[in-house]
Amino acid sequence: MCMVLIVEDEMLEQEFIKSIVREELFPQDTLLTCESGIEAVNLAEQYRPNIIITDVLIPELDGLSAIEKIRKFLPDVSVAVLSAYSDFAYAQKAIRLQVFEYLLKPVKPNTIKQVFRKMMDSTYKYHSMIGEKIEQNSIDSTKCNEYFIEKSVEYIKQHFREKITLEMIASRVFLNPKYFSRVFKKKMGVSFSKYVINLKIQYACRLLETTNYPAYRISIECGFSDPSYFNRVFCAQMEMTPQTYRKYVKVSKAIN
C-alpha cells in the first residue's frame, strides 16, 4: 500500500494535483492533503507517507523547510516540489534535501503524471530492495513480523486515546492491512480493535479509581467520541457500569 501526501494551499491547484494522482493509485492506496507546512509535518509523522508532493510557498512553514523537518524521521520519503519561482536558492536547497523532482509552475498534467509514476516505481523498487536484503541476510520472517508488531504496539500504547485505525498502523510498518491484522492477532492473541479497546478500558478503570471525573469526561479522556458507546463497551468488558465499578473500588479499598 502506498501513502501519498499533497501539500498545497491553493484549493484549485490542490484539486488539480489530486485528480491526476488519484488516477495512478490503486484502491488500497491512500491519498492525504493539507494546506500548510506545519500540518504537513504533523501528518507525515502520523501517517508516514511514501510520497510527498508539496508547493514551496505555503502558510506557517514553507515547503522546503517542512521537508527538512520530515526528512529527520522519514529519510527515504520520495518528494516532488512545485514552485512558481525559478529561484536558485530554492533549487539549491531542494538538491540538498535530495528532492526527487523540482517542477516549475504551471505544470502540465502529463508532466505531473510522468513524475508521479517514476516516484511510485522508485518507492516500490526501494521496498522491494529492502525485502531482498532481508532475504539475503537470512533474517527469519517470524522475527521480522515480531519486530513490526513490537514497533506497532509501542505506537498504539502511546496513541490509543487518539483516532487510530488498523490501516494507519499497518502503513507505518509497510505491511498490507490484512496481513498485518493476521500477524497482529497471532502475536498478541487478540485482534487489533480488541487490543485498542482493552487499552482504553484499562485507562478508564485507572481514571475511575484515581479521579472524580464523571463518566462522560472519562469517555473523552479514553478516546471515545460517544459516551453511550463507552458505557456499552465498558459494561461488556467489565460486566458492570463505570459508576458501579467506581463504587466497587471504593468499597474494596475501605474493606482493605
What pLDDT, on the 0 to 100 scale, is given for residue 185? Answer: 92
Alpha helices in the chain (DSSP H): 11-24, 37-47, 63-71, 88-96, 109-136, 141-159, 166-172, 177-188, 192-210, 215-221, 227-238, 242-255
CA dihedral 107, 50, 193, 191 (to 10 degrees): 140
**pTM (two decimals):** 0.52
Q: Which of 95-99, 116-120, 121-125, 216-220 has the highest mean pLDDT?
A: 216-220
User: If you average pLDDT over residues 51-79, what whole number do you get?
Assistant: 90
**pLDDT reading at 34 higher than 90:** yes
The band of 136, judged by pLDDT with boundaries at 50, 70 and 90, is: low
What pLDDT, on the 0 to 100 scale, is given for residue 88? Answer: 62
User: If you average pLDDT over residues 185-206, what whole number do you get?
Assistant: 94
The band of 199, judged by pLDDT with boundaries at 50, 70 and 90, is: very high
**pLDDT reading at 160 higher than 80:** yes
User: If you average pLDDT over residues 114-120, what whole number do you get?
Assistant: 88
What pLDDT, on the 0 to 100 scale, is given for residue 89? Answer: 66
Residue 134 CB coordination number (10 Å): 14
Q: Which residue has the cell 468499597?
A: 251
